[in-house]
Structure 1
């Protein structure tokens, strides 16, 4: 009886070992979130700073000068002109547009025998023939707009370039996110850094707008790989209590780069010099290539994909740097590395997954769709609020710094509140605030005072940025490790699609802005209902397998009465709850193996595959009649 049924117990035992949580069984025994993990997280913040410099340099490269007009063409003036001052010559050569001053795109054309400029008569106007004269813009003295005259009939090339740049980021998130799940976080990070650096140098050497557009698109894809690989690797090195704080500090580093960028533009003056400087900050990250310990491979991903030899090497490196030793001569067969060897066989092959497998799931697919939707709304609706900032104060620096400071404030508020009130509750609150601010501005802007419109716009901008950031962070916690790169890449790509919507508005000269605002306000109201379907991941371990990701279900909206769950005969005692002890578990497993070897004289070591397949290692199938 005992012999026939004991293999089933061993099957259960090995199955439990395979489902051991990384944070509980492995992470504490390698030093936990020790000094080495903290230093790796700190070095990952530097890459956020470098990526943001390249991302927001786009704002200065494509900024239209505050004032410009056609360069005077002597052939359009009369052959004989009286002595006129420079300002008077401009007034008689360029049409005056009510409300905006001198025309940006037209010149007067006079007859050759014309001599009296005081006579008011209809004048023929033509487009600029000798180019344009520009005043100095914000920060840079020259950018691609002034170098290639991308104004008037060529202005459409600016929003087109911005759209193509975002398409590069979208494609990078999708392609390189899936590559992170197949090749690893470190490989994609270093490859993307090298590629983005080379493309950045090429961008600074662009000869025309077409060359600039294609190189910028390619660099955007590489920068997406740098950001995504860093984000995932940093998250997987943290324990549950520190995940949010470490991620938000990385966001503050990004805000710091955004705030310093205007000063860098003033120092560089020329857009090509500025491009080389921000590219140099990326190339400095190649030092991580030689300093392996600065950016190691994620041990969680290695174990989840069953790359055992590499995982053991990385885990031992973490333990040594954290002051914990895992060598066999100290802990004998009860140490972590020996336990990994007992679970995984020598012929264990790596097992990779792709993001397409997410379609066959139910909970993971639902969570990903909802968070992609909220990330899309959070990025897309920001244009509705920033446009009101431009109407309130047309100066470039006002809207720029308001966006950056609101993003920094959103990071701080999320860091303070999310661990206390939960991911789902704060995301719901931020969505409600975004929707309320958007609807109030949509319906009452013409009836409200300018100060109240400004307050609503700032509140809406702050809440929408919190929605976008929290959606990405929330998604990284509910997606399993084996497809975290590809799944998170899709969600970040959805947020970039929302950014593309604002560039489309500029491409059509803000025609359809009201419809854009109505659509995103309606989506925000819908997202409030969708957020209620999400699970809560506060202080929970990250899921590693698809099965663990499927187990992340939303908590009930209304808790049952306590007596319904605990009848009197089975009264629950809070103090009697048992806690999992890794050391006791390890000793139990070792003692069980020794007992089996002594009593049943096993001829071969335990292997995992037959046990997981449900077959007996002692002989034929179980015979229940013998019981």
Structure 2
């Protein structure tokens, strides 16, 4: 549609719309997760992504593209959030971080394959159609109940005991089929039939500790996503070719994942989040004040370090939030945190609008926010080695330990309380 010259502003508008779709989808899917479950939300999101993806590929005008991309981003966000929560709730405390980081590496592998797929397809409509067909295959495979069970932790937290017993029975048959004691415990679980107890996201606002943790981590995710554009823009003059800059950005994501994976389990989530936020703030302030006076190598180094650190801040903030939010509102709470991160991303394309003078203000605001985030992270509890909180009371009982003294570990806790 000749998106050049006077129509160049439509390109960042489309990018912002797609990212706002991810924000909308994260919030909506989080609410659905806590009311209907993780598995139905994931399958519904995948099922919606297929027709909406085809609508993007077959769009006849720019307005249709905007609307379809908004809905496509919302559907993808729903699938991402539901799978993220379901995967986390199946893991023991020592394995939560490792499993999440492995999933992050698969995400990065997809980013590395995308340029090759684009070279093969050549046309954006063909590329969109190919991505949609992959989603259709995933949707067809994931409908098999054996591949993705409903989260037993969520079923127990919402008092759906009979469904929880059936789900745990399936897991027990696969892992320890001869354990008669476990079988007896599962049979006793379904005695009585209490009514399911669901919780609305508005209940978070009446809490003190849960609300504070959610706001701080949502703010940190917002800063990490929004400030990343400031570093990537400084990389652009040194990496003018699209594929070289893209590979460098993906490389910083790999470095961030490796760093978090190797350090967050050893030193704690809060300490590493604080360190990454400090690195992000210092790199941003140095580039903001001294870019004209620093050597190109130093500018490039600060940009790479800042890009990796900001990605680690976003990734660790989302993971940290998933650990400190209680199971009964984990979907909705995490949806708000993930949505905040995409709001930060959505601010970046706006500064790319021709004749816009917003980049300097964007950099100043996010650099200032990064310093504020450093102070607020000190108020967070530590979730390393701790069991996931189930109820709102569990979430409210979390306390902030001293920064350099870790709380006692609670590894290998049973899902069923004695």
TM-score between both structures, scaled by the size of structure 1: 0.64
Deviates more, 1:513-522 or 1:287-296: 287-296
Compared with structure 1, are the counterparts of its residues 208 and 580 closer, same or farther at alpha carbon in structure 2 (3 Å cutoff)?
Answer: closer
- The answer (yes or no) to whether the contact 2:387–2:413 under 8 Å persists in 1 is no
Question: Which structure has greater helix proportion?
Answer: 2
- The answer (yes or no) to whether the contact 2:8–2:354 under 8 Å persists in 1 is no
Separation in structure 2 between the aligned mates of residue 581 and residue 417 of structure 1, nearest angstrom: 23
Q: What pairs with 1:284-299 in structure 2 (closer than 5 Å)? A: 284-299=137-152
Equivalent residue, structure 1, for 2:186: 337
CA shift at 1:511, angstroms? 1.1
1:238 aligns with 2:91: yes
- The answer (yes or no) to whether the contact 1:505–1:511 under 8 Å persists in 2 is yes
Equivalent residue, structure 2, for 1:536: 382
Equivalent residue, structure 1, for 2:51: 198
Separation in structure 2 between the aligned mates of residue 534 and residue 172 of structure 1, nearest angstrom: 27
CA shift at 1:448, angstroms? 0.8
Separation in structure 2 between the aligned mates of residue 316 and residue 325 of structure 1, nearest angstrom: 12
Deviates more, 1:368-377 or 1:495-504: 495-504
CA shift at 1:392, angstroms? 1.9
Deviation string 1:491-527 (CA, Å, 9 cap, x unpaired) is 0010011011111111354412111111111111111
Q: What pairs with 1:56-455 in structure 2 (closer than 5 Å)? A: 148-325=1-178, 330-331=180-181, 335-341=184-190, 345-346=192-193, 348-455=194-301
Separation in structure 1 between the aligned mates of residue 311 and residue 412 of structure 2, nearest angstrom: 39
Equivalent residue, structure 2, for 1:619: none
- Structure (1 or 2) with the larger CA radius of gyration: 1
Report SS of the residue matched to 2:247: helix
CA shift at 1:323, angstroms? 2.8
Separation in structure 2 between the aligned mates of residue 547 and residue 510 of structure 1, nearest angstrom: 48
1:485 aligns with 2:322: no
Deviation string 1:164-218 (CA, Å, 9 cap, x unpaired) is 1111111111111110000100001001001001111111111111111111111
Higher relative contact order (CA 8 A, sep 6+): 2
Deviation string 1:194-244 (CA, Å, 9 cap, x unpaired) is 100111111111111111111111111111100000100000111000100
Equivalent residue, structure 2, for 1:611: none
- The answer (yes or no) to whether the contact 2:223–2:341 under 8 Å persists in 1 is yes
Compared with structure 1, are the counterparts of its residues 366 and 508 closer, same or farther at alpha carbon in structure 2 (3 Å cutoff)?
Answer: farther
Equivalent residue, structure 2, for 1:72: none
- The answer (yes or no) to whether the contact 2:56–2:69 under 8 Å persists in 1 is yes
Separation in structure 2 between the aligned mates of residue 306 and residue 548 of structure 1, nearest angstrom: 16
CA shift at 1:394, angstroms? 1.7
Separation in structure 1 between the aligned mates of residue 121 and residue 169 of structure 2, nearest angstrom: 46
Separation in structure 1 between the aligned mates of residue 152 and residue 346 of structure 2, nearest angstrom: 36
CA shift at 1:581, angstroms? 10
- The answer (yes or no) to whether the contact 2:88–2:96 under 8 Å persists in 1 is yes
Separation in structure 1 between the aligned mates of residue 237 and residue 204 of structure 2, nearest angstrom: 44
Report SS of the residue matched to 2:118: helix
Aligned residue-pair number: 411
Separation in structure 1 between the aligned mates of residue 185 and residue 395 of structure 2, nearest angstrom: 25
Separation in structure 1 between the aligned mates of residue 380 and residue 177 of structure 2, nearest angstrom: 38
Report SS of the residue matched to 1:556: coil
CA shift at 1:335, angstroms? 2.6
Compared with structure 1, are the counterparts of its residues 159 and 321 closer, same or farther at alpha carbon in structure 2 (3 Å cutoff)?
Answer: same
Q: Any stretches of 5+ residues in structure 2 without a counterpart?
A: 406-410
Equivalent residue, structure 1, for 2:408: none
TM-score between both structures, scaled by the size of structure 2: 0.95
CA shift at 1:290, angstroms? 3.9
Separation in structure 1 between the aligned mates of residue 199 and residue 334 of structure 2, nearest angstrom: 14
Compared with structure 1, are the counterparts of its residues 558 and 190 closer, same or farther at alpha carbon in structure 2 (3 Å cutoff)?
Answer: closer
Deviation string 1:462-487 (CA, Å, 9 cap, x unpaired) is 10000000000000000000000000
- The answer (yes or no) to whether the contact 1:355–1:487 under 8 Å persists in 2 is yes
- The answer (yes or no) to whether the contact 1:375–1:471 under 8 Å persists in 2 is yes
Report SS of the residue matched to 2:197: coil
RMSD: 1.9
Deviates more, 1:361-370 or 1:207-216: 207-216
- The answer (yes or no) to whether the contact 1:288–1:295 under 8 Å persists in 2 is no
Q: Any stretches of 5+ residues in structure 1 without a counterpart?
A: 1-147, 560-578, 587-627
1:556 aligns with 2:406: no
1:458 aligns with 2:304: yes
